[in-house]
Chain A
Amino acid sequence: MILDFERPIKDFEERIAELRRLAGPSAELREEISRLEEALDAARRRIYSNLSPYQRVQVARHPERPNFRAYRDALTDDFYELSGDRFFGDDPAVRGGLARIADHNVLLMGHDKGTDVNSRVKGNFGMAHPEGYRKVKRFYELAARFGLPVVVLVDTPGAFAGRGAEERGQAWAISADLMTLARIPVPVVSAIIGEGCSGGALAMCATDYVGMLENSYLSVIAPEACASIIFRDPGRAAEAAQALKLTAADMKGRGIVDEVIPEPLGGAHNDPTSAIDAVGKSLDRVLTGLSDTDPEILREVRYERYRRIGTHASENGQGGLQRG
């Protein structure tokens, strides 16, 4: 899939491929190719260093963007998947299990957006039902019981909005995750690798360390939904994305996340291996750093971090402006 703003890049790529097919030993053609390659590189740099917030949202949603499966396959030596919420079913929108990442035994989980039509539909495009969130709670508790750090890869357009999800207590399942996450005595590390939308993302990223890929986003609401509520026009999603300040750079600037993980030029979908490698390095570093932390200190620091977050003005002038 080609995003609109990537068109100039694709045009160069197609012309280069075309010339390559024609190119014999002709020096003239080779020169033309190398000229085009420079132009391609410049176009990539120009376009990708000036992405608007909504363009980043589109990159974050790109179907070829590496997702949970790609990270799982590339970063773990072994992945022993566990399934089911022990109440109702297994939700393939969230997967998890025991894993080894660079010598760390961890509990790895994440939203699974799938890789082809079948798996995308099966995983409901990463939108979990209550069963998914109850499985997450099970994983938090399992990790706590065995003292395993938790690694979460966040990539969801939000918790699923549907009849069955409501009938089986979507809100209850999410609040139970937040309550459990708040008190488990093991390190919890998350990386937002694509979409981090609404409570469905927060249930898995109110963690001790939050890394965020450069073109991923974190938001209370999808820009389209925000536009239809505030501007009464879903077509104004780009404005809403701008207003919501949802980019990785915004989050880092406001102290909501700890790290922006740079993406290869042209976005993670243009060079999945580099993106996955960068996330893997970050996870390894953070897990190593947290590995000897006293569980009570972990809980205390996690409490302080999320207890302080917010911004308000105080009338008596004592607190002044508090920013988390």
Chain B
Amino acid sequence: MDAVFTKCEKCGQPIYEKDLRARFNVCPNCEFHYPLSAPERIRLLTDTGSFEERDGGLFADDPLGFEDYRQRLEKARAKTGLDDAILSGTGAIGGRRVALAALDFRFIGGSMGSVVGEKVARTIEVAGAEELPLVIVSASGGARMFEGVYSLMQMAKTSVALSRYVEGSWPYVSVLTDPTFGGVTASFATAADVVLAEPGARIGFTGARVIEQTTKERLPEGFQTAEFQREHGMVDRIVHRLSLKGDLERLLGFLP
């Protein structure tokens, strides 16, 4: 298995899958950042053995009886081994305890329904109650439309939780990864003290394809990339995935 080659979609060079995995899905050749699952993200960021999952066993309901939603959920669960599009809990980053959540794009596009909203809110509350810094890593197409207005309301749910947390003096760091859009960007993912982003990640409110279709505008090269967002003042820093843990350690070292 370890000798299996794959071809980088970006640079076209052959890469060992083993090498790709060892570099948390960053191409050893061109440094392209492939999507990273939530469990791998947690492994990347936390000190070995420090992560304790919270709020496992919350499952999406199908409040609208939306066509195919249950089947989609079952498929996503089988594919990812996750309950929903998020893994959350507490862990240590370079010895510093934090409350941490990571979204998983493989699970219905990382979309935010009631379970994602609830677990984000609970993670924020754990951070508040235990006086911990809060780190949330996003990868999401936005609200989960199969849950209709309930998914829209998760934007309000995560916002009210955050609005309490920021009354305290512990930091909230949001990490935006490819892709982060819609109701996730328009709620907890951008309302942070510090916003970091991975190189090349596509970040925005509405996706480029939809904008092109509706406005017939030609969009510039690099539109909505992390670099574009940093240039427009929306993101603090672009951080390479393999430097992310060290960067967070450094940042948190300055803050209460």
Contact = CB atoms under 8 A, between A and B. Distances in A.
B45 to A, nearest CB: 23
21 contacts: A161-B214, A163-B215, A163-B220, A163-B223, A175-B191, A178-B155, A178-B191, A179-B159, A182-B156, A183-B167, A199-B152, A219-B149, A220-B145, A220-B147, A221-B143, A221-B145, A243-B64, A306-B160, A307-B157, A309-B153, A324-B153
Interface of B: 56-61, 63-64, 66-67, 83, 114-115, 117-118, 121, 143, 145-157, 159-164, 166-167, 182-183, 185-191, 204-206, 210-211, 214-215, 217, 219-220, 223-224, 232-234
Contacts of A36: none
A251 B149 CA distance: 8
Contacts of B83: 315
Contact of B206 (A170, A251, A316): A170
Given A202-B156, A206-B156, A159 B205 contact: yes
Interface in A155-180: 159, 161-163, 165-172, 174-176, 178-179
Contacts, number: 192
- 10 nearest CB pairs, A to B: A315-B57, A310-B114, A171-B185, A182-B163, A161-B206, A178-B159, A206-B156, A220-B152, A174-B186, A170-B205
Contacts of B234: 169, 172
A245 B148 contact: yes
A198 interface: yes
Contacts of B206: 159, 161, 165-166, 170
Contact of B163 (A183, A221, A245, A250): A183
A134 to B, nearest CB: 13
**Which residue, A168, A303, A307, A313, has most C-beta atoms of chain B within 10 A?**
A307
A324 B117 CA distance: 13
Contacts of B210: 161, 225
B205 A174 contact: yes
Contact of A311 (B61, B182, B186, B189): B61
A243 B66 CA distance: 6
Contact of B58 (A251, A256, A314): A314
Contacts of A206: 153, 155-156, 159-160
Contacts of B145: 220-221, 226, 229-230, 244
B14 to A, nearest CB: 35
A242 B121 CA distance: 30
Given A161-B205, A170-B206, A310 B160 contact: no
A159 B188 CA distance: 17
A172 B190 contact: yes
A20 interface: no
Contact of A175 (B143, B152, B157, B187): B187
A176 to B, nearest CB: 7
A276 B63 CA distance: 33
A321 B156 CA distance: 20
B142 to A, nearest CB: 9
Nearest to B148: A244
Contacts of B147: 220, 311
Contact of A163 (B115, B118, B183, B217): B217
A168 to B, nearest CB: 7
B61 A313 contact: yes
Given A183-B163, A220-B152, A307-B121, A166 B59 contact: no
A302 B156 CA distance: 10
**Which residue, B61, B114, B149, B163, has most C-beta atoms of chain A within 10 A?**
B149
A220 B148 contact: yes
Contacts of B66: 243
Contacts of B56: 315
Contacts of B155: 178, 199, 202, 206
Contact of B150 (A169, A181, A303, A309): A309
A142 to B, nearest CB: 18
Given A167-B232, A171-B204, A315 B58 contact: yes
A164 to B, nearest CB: 9
